[in-house]
Chain A
Amino acid sequence: MGIDIKFPIGLMFTILGFLLAIFGLITGGDEALYSRSLGININLWSGCGMLAFGLIMLYLAWRNRKTKTS
């Protein structure tokens, strides 16, 4: 069936990762917010992780497409 699921997965995690990483950067100094997560800026970390995962998926989808067309 004609879609490569790696593409939407990659795109979604890139968007969400970007969103959370930026939110993490903005709220980085907010100690009250991060008291729950033991003082760790979990938004920044999760965001970066998701961004990396999303970009890898996008790369795989792009590579897959290239091998198919050539």
Chain B
Amino acid sequence: MIDSGFVLSWIDYTVMVVYFAFVLGIGWALKRYMKDANAFLEAGRSMPAWVAGLAFISTNLGALEVMGMTGSGAKYGMLTTHFYWVGAIPAMVFLALFMMPFYYGSKARSVPEYLKLRYDEKTRGLNAILFAIMTILASGISMYALAILMEKVLGWNFHLSLVLSAAIVLAYTYLGGLSSAIYNEVLQFFIIIIGLLPIVILSLKDMGGWQGLQDQLAPIVTSKGFESDTWTTTWKYTGEAKSNPMGVEWYGIFAGLGFVLSFGYWCTNFLIVQRAMAANSTTAARNTPLIGALPKMFIPFLIIVPGIAALVLMNTPGKGFALPLNEAGQPIWDYTIIMLLKQYLPAGVLGLGITALLASFMSGMAGNVSAFNTVWTYDIYQSYIRPVTSDKTSDEKHYLKVGRLATIFGVVVSIAAAYLASLFGNIMDFLQTIFSMINAPLFAVIFLGMFWKRTTGHAAFTGLLAGFTIALIHHGITFPEGADTLVKGGWICKFHTYPVEMAQNFWTAIFAFTTSAIVTVGLTFATKQKKSNEELKGLVYSLTPRHVETNVPWYQRSTTLAILVLAIGTILTIWFW
């Protein structure tokens, strides 16, 4: 344990215990509704839009997001908002308006199942297996990150916090399935916001408001060799890669982050889409990502702004604020958030802040587990191991049991993955980087499938594989400047050097997406469409009747919400230009 001077008192523990009691209580209250697989794995498609929408954004607000983005706030300043305003909002609006009608209307129970309906079995199989592995890995990695944080900073036992946090998530997802995960995500959303709000207010007050923060940043930023307002602007210094700390130009941000990475993540990731699929109507399903987008736009003020304040604190000796250092003597940026909690929060709200971090971890992990058990049960077990029989009632009971067992299995494997991460952190990072690349080709394939009725199954399957292969090769022949391990790239040869890792990631995704799109289009012309127009109805844009929202008041219509979201996003972008 590093000496962080953290002492939690009885009041902090009481706050945590109250939170745990409610999380488990919600799972317990839902137990009696879990009578079949549909209720357990799909929440019976019964969620109101606001519940699904807040769960949607809460799943995304996992521990790695909160820790990582606060760290990025210190490292890159307001440039980090590119992950939100350009890197999430357009994709969320696109998902809502153009893709949700097909995901939801097709009656597919998962994204892999949509691929099965639209293309064929092999495309589904490939996606389902990769998704299952990736999801469990991601949950293991975030579990490891949380446990190591708690050990280093709070002095909690690593094994105990790992197993205990996993056991709580297991308990409530096992009891109440997807409904329990979703309801708890809504609760967690509020505790994350309310628990972190005090550090926003206190850090800004300490800095003398936004203006004071800018003034104090100026000398620090200039000494790093950047213009004095680089940390408090977003697009201003993106004309040249070297004039901003992220090391990317505006077109790299626009194409890499704003298009390929964000559409790949938001529009194809079942973890996210599953929340919208649980909504109670097509309109509610379309509104889910839009309702999620409203808080998403303001999350930067909650986690990035305190991160920027942390940079000032680090450079003001009298404040006594320092980040722990790693073996190489570099600050561990991911610890920014917890050090801020320690800096500003007295006993009481401190417990609330720690609870917020635990809640963010749980919302992310429950999302992973509930997406994993659905894909496992429907797309792997039901399609390859035990297909449906003629007896629907006993089938539902059987798949409910399988879904529950998959929940336990998923959590156990996550714990194993967390231990692997503690032994071979680099390999886990590498796998995560690689898996993050499968989303870009997947977006190409789903997009072409939804909007071009001719796209064939063979073409889609080959397109996915080709995109993935190119991503691997690109990662293998390029590396970020100063990288000391092959995990960061360049493990085939060092053909090209990127100034920073983020630029490399952007370009990997761009290459993967482009290759996948070209291969899919090319092969579609070379192969024959086996699916009839009748079969593709509800799956493809041109063959599906438009969804009209007639009996919905104007303020609840998706288009109204979408315009509102885009307008606020535009205002924020211009404001912080």
Residues of A participating in the B interface, judged by any CB pair closer than 8 Å? 1-3, 5, 8-9, 11-13, 15-16, 19-20, 23-24, 27, 33-34, 36-38, 40, 42-43, 46-47, 49-50, 53
Please tell me which one of the listed residues A11, A19, A50 contacts residue B194 in the complex, with CB atoms under 8 A apart.
Answer: A50
Query: Whole-angstrom distance from the CB of A59 to the nearest CB of chain B?
Result: 16
Contacts A1-B43, A9-B187, A16-B19 aside, 16 further interface pairs with beta carbons under 8 A come to A1-B30, A1-B39, A3-B183, A11-B22, A12-B19, A19-B11, A24-B348, A27-B348, A33-B346, A33-B347, A34-B346, A40-B205, A42-B349, A43-B346, A43-B348, A46-B348
24 A-B residue pairs with CB within 8 Å:
A1-B46, A3-B29, A5-B187, A8-B29, A9-B187, A12-B22, A15-B18, A16-B352, A19-B14, A19-B15, A20-B352, A36-B345, A37-B198, A37-B346, A37-B349, A38-B202, A38-B205, A42-B202, A46-B197, A46-B348, A46-B349, A46-B352, A47-B348, A50-B194
Please tell me which one of the listed residues B43, B186, B345 contacts residue A42 in the complex, with CB atoms under 8 A apart.
Answer: B345
Q: Which 4 A-B pairs have the closest CB atoms?
A: A43-B348, A1-B179, A12-B22, A5-B183
Q: Which residue of A lies closest to B32 (CB)?
A: A2
Contact assessment for A40 and B202 in the assembled complex, using a CB-CB cutoff below 8 Å: yes
Contact assessment for A13 and B205 in the assembled complex, using a CB-CB cutoff below 8 Å: no
Across-interface contacts of A23 in B (CB, < 8 A): 11, 348
Across-interface contacts of B47 in A (CB, < 8 A): 1
Which secondary structure characterizes the binding site on chain B? helix
Q: Does B26 contact A (CB under 8 A)?
A: yes
Contact assessment for A16 and B187 in the assembled complex, using a CB-CB cutoff below 8 Å: no
| B371-382 interface code vs A (CB 8 A; 1 in, 0 out) | 000000000000
Please tell me which one of the listed residues B18, B33, B46, B190 contacts residue A19 in the complex, with CB atoms under 8 A apart.
Answer: B18
Across-interface contacts of A12 in B (CB, < 8 A): 18-19, 22, 187
CB contacts between A and B, total, < 8 Å = 92
C-alpha gap A7/B445 in the complex (Å): 42
Q: Does B25 contact A (CB under 8 A)?
A: yes
Across-interface contacts of A46 in B (CB, < 8 A): 194, 197-198, 348-349, 352
Please tell me which one of the listed residues B14, B19, B179, B194 contacts residue A53 in the complex, with CB atoms under 8 A apart.
Answer: B194
C-alpha gap A5/B197 in the complex (Å): 22
Contact assessment for A37 and B202 in the assembled complex, using a CB-CB cutoff below 8 Å: yes
Q: Does B344 contact A (CB under 8 A)?
A: yes
Q: Does B44 contact A (CB under 8 A)?
A: yes
C-alpha gap A13/B47 in the complex (Å): 22
Query: Whole-angstrom distance from the CB of B48 to the nearest CB of chain A?
Result: 9
Please indicate which of the listed interface residues B33, B197, B344, B349 has the most CB atoms of chain A within 10 Å of its own CB: B349
Q: Does B51 contact A (CB under 8 A)?
A: yes
Contact assessment for B44 and A1 in the assembled complex, using a CB-CB cutoff below 8 Å: yes
